[in-house]
Structure 1
Amino acid sequence: MEEEKESGRAFSHWWWALASGVQLGWGVLSYRRGCAGESRLMPLKAFAVASLFVGAGASASVSVLHASGIYKVEDLLEVGANIRRGLRVRPRTGEE
């Protein structure tokens, strides 16, 4: 059962990468199309295009984290501790 979960997690980053690519493509297409129609809707259209670019960046970030095997905050903290250890920097305490 645990192996099935791990194998499902191993390929979950592809879905996030696909979502990022689709959002980025949609954002570029919308940006290149420009303003069509009434000018009163321009702020809404600009917000929608900007949201597509921000969403593409967020999806790409999640994809990179999943591909790296980072699924929880504890995993990310462990990676940070390993980097600090590799740089020979003092470990952080709770007071800093």
Structure 2
Amino acid sequence: MEEIGVGGGVGGGGGGYWWWSAASTAQLALGIKSYRKGFSGDSRFMPLKAFSVASLFVGATASAAVAFLHSSGIHSVRLSLSLSESISGGT
């Protein structure tokens, strides 16, 4: 079975999760700023603006999850699956 890495080795080693943390923080800050600004302009663009703000929050959550996985030492899907099997007792 081929091992699938989480994050593609961004950052080149053990400190790669800092990049994911920075991305998460930037996306969260931009999402909060956009949310607080509210809607201004043509009402036809409201769904697009709402989707873009929601995408920022989803992207921030995903980046934070990858940063957590990298910082906790889980660098592949295979390792994550074996860890979950050992926790659940192999059932």
TM over 0.5: yes
Map of 1:44 onto structure 2: 48
The corresponding residue for 2:78 is 74
Q: Among the aligned pairs, what percent are the same residue? A: 51
- The yes-or-no answer on 1:15 pairing with 2:19 is yes
Q: TM-score, normalised by structure 1?
A: 0.79
State the alpha-carbon separation in 1 of the partners of residues 70 and 44 from structure 2. 41
1:16-43 CA distances to partner (integer Å, 9 max, x unpaired)?
0000000000000000000111111000
How many residues matched?
A: 82
Which aligned segments of 4 or more residues in structure 1 are displaced greater than 2 angstroms?
A: none
Structure 1's unaligned 5+ residue stretches are none
Tell which structure's C-alpha radius of gyration is larger.
Answer: 1
For 1:19 and 1:56, the matched residues in 2 are separated by 7
CA RMSD of aligned residues (A): 1.6
Relative contact order higher in (CA < 8 Å, ≥ 6 apart): 2
Is 1:25 the counterpart of 2:10? The answer is no
Per the normalisation by structure 2, the TM-score is 0.83
